[in-house]
Chain A
Amino acid sequence: MTTTTLAVLVPLLPFLGAVTGLLLGRTAPGFVRPLAVLPTLASLALAAIVAVRQGGDAAVDAATELTPTGSVPVELALHIDGFAALVALVVGLVATCVQIYSTGYLRDDPRYPSYAALVSLFTSAMFLVVYSGDLIVLLVGWEVMGICSYFLVGHYWETPEARAASIKAFLVTKLGDVPFLIGLFALATDAGSFRITKILGTVAHGGLDHPTLIALLLLAGVAGKSAQFPLHTWLPDAMAGPTPVSALIHAATMVAAGVYFVARLLPVFEASQAAMAVLAVMAAVTMAGSGLAALAQDDIKRVLAYSTIGQLGYMTGALAVGDRGAAVFHLVSHGAFKALLFLAAGVIIHAAGTNSLAAMSRMSGLRDRVPDAFWTMTVALLALAAIPPFSGFFSKESVLGAAEHVTTGHTEHAPAAAGWIVLVAGLLTAVLTAAYAARLWLLAFRGRGAEAPDHGRQPLTMTVVLWVLAVPSLALGGLAYRSLPDWFDGRDLAPTLTTSVLGTGLALVGGLVVHSAWRHTTAVAARVPIGAVAAHPEGDAAQVEAEAIATHAPAYGDVASAPDPADPGRLLLGPLHRHAATGFHLDAVYTTLFVRPVQAAASLVRFLDREVVDTYVRGAGTLPRWLGTAVRRAQTGNVQTYVSALLAGTVVLVVAVLLVATGA
């Protein structure tokens, strides 16, 4: 089979799996698990073959036009370069791991068939986005991902948090998608095609008429999808979905789609200095803010969610300095270790029976209960904190190196200011990242207090994939940073000495500070009992998690934070903790700015409809009713009256006819 055929099969297989799974879910439950895992696994294998055949050489391009669609043609096009091949590989790997993990995690869930089908559909859509060479086809995958995310976040729809979170995720990403769509149209109008290759060709010749407008419009969609400031607020709430979903969609793949999109069309953004500056500022604000917020979260998954936002900020930062190689490198390694983090967090939540770090810090022996999760999570957290030689170190250093390279002003495509912004924010975030990673590790695994409850061994399907993902988290960066430039633009990704020393040093500082703060507060922890544990520890992991999420707000007063004086994050952040825990009140700001005005407008419209429009309607009904009352009077029931009226009318008509006929 040709590479093109294989590449077409990659998104097609999970799609067929999803359709079959949905159809057979009720009638043949025995087929659901194979139908969920096998197509994704086959897609992974095919994506690997495609990657090997492509091998970082010239991009594979194929296109067919099904039917003419008006002025700008829409084509089913493939555009597989090194970026696409590698990202598809990561997507396939994470999706396969998540599907295998889900068979254990949602072992007893009655809605597992639809869940698995939606994950398959999502995987298919992500493959489509990655491989597509046509922006409209890409948009199809983009939106299918959005709707899958909506359904999967709302998987525990019995809980109000999940319902609200799914609607919020959908609305916020759609808010970005509207300008995104307009931007796509503007771009296609300027370039005369939706094909990525043609657009890039147009950009290379300076053929874009409105580069800044287009870039900013597209950035809105990217910010929504990739959870960048100011449209990031949906991602922490989306943690109300099942953990595997968070791992696949809200950590490794879908949120990376925005970054990947910018990476594909980077020349378009580079055509506008303003867009690059906006991108840099957006990345910087996102990185720093999310780092602070992550330090204040109590829900283990929300910590990881803010960490995801921050790491996506690194990627957009790399794009802002014009180095898409570094961005995609970080995307790949982040996809591996963040998926691992989430999946391990799922195991921990199941074992501990709670998602609250405050409660975990009062349990001892959790790491002995789940040794697999402990070791793999340690690896992933080290990768997240960018400690050498873990893969996160190399990818993050490539980002920082690219930013440092721009600060010298030797590049024409990105302003030096952007380089400085990204570099400073990146270094600051390195401290924060290490700090919250250390806090997470210390609170979860070094708790003191009652023995952690024993729920038996975790399912094998859940622990094996942790080790599978631990391998790339550990070794990918170190092994790949020399060969990856061949796949990408050819720019060197090796860490530079200055940034490596700076970054690693700052990370160590952050970790050590948290450690000392933690030692200071453990004494307090013993005095303040806190904690709530899921009511059904014998249930499967999904049930435990759903109950943990549902009980967090009643138990601790808030879904995000807990009033725990023993939290090292609280000690370090000081007065800032209160604001960081709520995501710097961005939701409240949105409520004031958008929700309240919309509600006020709605009540105004309701008032107008009830009191003004209906008055006219009622008035219009009054006259016919009066007429009807008058006419009803004539219905006396007396036949003679009727006949009299009838004959009188006849006489009048006859006389009239006669007069007309005789011409009188």
Chain B
Amino acid sequence: MILAQAPHGFLSPTGVEIAFLLVGLVTFGAALVSVTTKQLVHAALWLVVTLGGLAVEYLLLTAEFIAWVQVLIYVGSVVVLLLFGLMLTRAPIGRSPDADSANRWAALTVAVAAATALVWVVVDAFRATWIDLDGPAAGSTEATGASLFQNWVLPFEALSVLLLAALVGAIVLSRKAKAERSSPSLNSRDTDESSPSVPDARKNPAEQEGAR
């Protein structure tokens, strides 16, 4: 550890730390707004802020390659995808009062409890741990590329297969749904099959109650 040579205190932050703290506050705030806002599209936009903030944090941690990947994939594609999703599900533009479910208080309790526990543990464990950010960047493209293609080639290839599968899967899901929709006979048959069984399922519990 570096503890012996340089006792770094929390009360005398370095410039990087101040920058990290500020960007972190913005990121966290954007994340909070993103999960609480009543306007669905705004939530996606606040998510962009959060993810961008995270990319800046990666940069501050000298992981530049990850930072650009973050910007490219998340901000560039994932959020666009989410916006398309919102659009296709005809999400209301403007405030929708029922954006949060009735479960929110339970969710809040669980989240706060989990946050307390995690922060407590993390702070307790890494209070004195110091990252030395000087010297060559730990996450430069060169370093990352070398490590990725020297040590992680096989998982990398496996991941490409996974991505392909996911791609095909997404296409099949949409295509099948479209085919189903275009042929009403399929749908009607489905309902025909299911409808007789459903009233039974509804009725049975009452009968069993009586029988017991």
Contacts and interface: CB of A to CB of B under 8 A. Distances in A.
Direct chain A–B contact by Cβ atoms under 8 Å: yes
Contacts of A69: none
Given A625-B212, A658-B121, A644 B114 contact: no
Greatest chain B CB density within 10 A among A625, A640, A641, A644 is at: A644
A112 to B, nearest CB: 51
A644 B103 contact: yes
A655 interface: yes
A23 interface: no
B113 A651 contact: yes
Looking at chain B's contact residues, is the secondary structure mostly helix, strand, loop, or mixed?
Answer: helix
A648 B107 CA distance: 9
A641 B104 CA distance: 10
Contacts of A516: none
A647 interface: yes
A659 B5 CA distance: 33
B101 interface: yes
B110 A648 contact: yes
B1 to A, nearest CB: 21
Contacts of A648: 106, 109-110, 113
A62 interface: no
Interface in A621-664: 625, 638, 640-641, 644, 647-648, 651, 654-655, 658
Contact of A641 (B103, B114, B117, B121): B103
Contacts of B212: 625
B15 to A, nearest CB: 34
A651 B110 contact: yes
Contact of B106 (A644, A654, A658): A644
A655 B103 contact: no
Interface in A599-629: 625
A641 B105 CA distance: 11
Contacts of B113: 648, 651
Interface residues of B, number: 11
Contacts of B114: 647, 651
A641 B106 contact: yes
A516 B117 CA distance: 120
B104 to A, nearest CB: 9
Contacts of B101: 638, 640
Contacts of A647: 110, 114
Contacts of A654: 117
Interface string B95-113: 0000001010011011001
A655 B107 contact: no
A519 to B, nearest CB: 76
Given A625-B212, A658-B117, A638 B110 contact: no
A640 B104 CA distance: 10
A84 B107 CA distance: 97
Contacts of A658: 117, 121
Contacts of B117: 651, 654-655, 658
A644 B121 contact: no
A640 B110 contact: no
Contacts of A638: 101, 103
B157 to A, nearest CB: 34
Most chain B beta-carbon contacts within 10 A, residue among A648, A651, A654: A651
A121 to B, nearest CB: 50
A648 B121 CA distance: 17
B211 to A, nearest CB: 12
Q: Which of B101, B109, B114, B212: most chain A Cβ within 10 A?
A: B114
B180 to A, nearest CB: 24
Nearest to A655: B117
A651 B113 CA distance: 7
Contacts of A644: 103, 106-107, 110
Interface in A177-217: none
Interface in B69-109: 101, 103, 106-107, 109
B19 to A, nearest CB: 32
A625 B110 CA distance: 31
Nearest to B101: A640
Contacts of B109: 648
A339 to B, nearest CB: 62
Given A644-B106, A654-B117, 7 more contacts: A640-B103, A640-B107, A641-B106, A648-B106, A648-B109, A648-B110, A648-B113
Interface of A: 625, 638, 640-641, 644, 647-648, 651, 654-655, 658
Query: Nearest 8 CB-CB pairs, A to B?
Result: A644-B106, A640-B103, A648-B110, A651-B113, A651-B114, A647-B110, A655-B117, A644-B110
24 contacts: A625-B212, A638-B101, A638-B103, A640-B101, A640-B103, A641-B103, A641-B106, A644-B103, A644-B106, A644-B107, A644-B110, A647-B110, A647-B114, A648-B106, A648-B109, A648-B110, A648-B113, A651-B110, A651-B114, A651-B117, A654-B117, A655-B117, A658-B117, A658-B121
